[in-house]
Amino acid sequence: MYEREIEMKVQQLPDVLRREVLDYMEFLINKHNSTKIKAKKFRFDWEGALSGMRGEFTSVELQHRALELR
């Protein structure tokens, strides 16, 4: 879509600025890729971590305690 326009503009630049454009493009690619990684689904690897406390506390008590800690 924009490939030809980008190519034409880059050809007008001196070599020093072409290097800067390339560096900036790499920055944008890395930024985009890191955003995609952050957008992945929430992990539930902590699930069941408090199962040993089931007899000591109810889920409501744990919710109240969590609110107190905030």
Interval 40-59 mean pLDDT: 78
**Ranges of each domain in the chain:** 1-41
At 25 the pLDDT is: 94
pLDDT in tens, 11-41: 999 999 999 999 999 999 998 887 666 666 7
Q: Is the dihedral of CA 15, 17, 20, 21 positive or negative?
A: negative
Let me know the angle formed at the C-alpha of 24 by 23 and 28, rounded to the nearest 5 degrees: 120
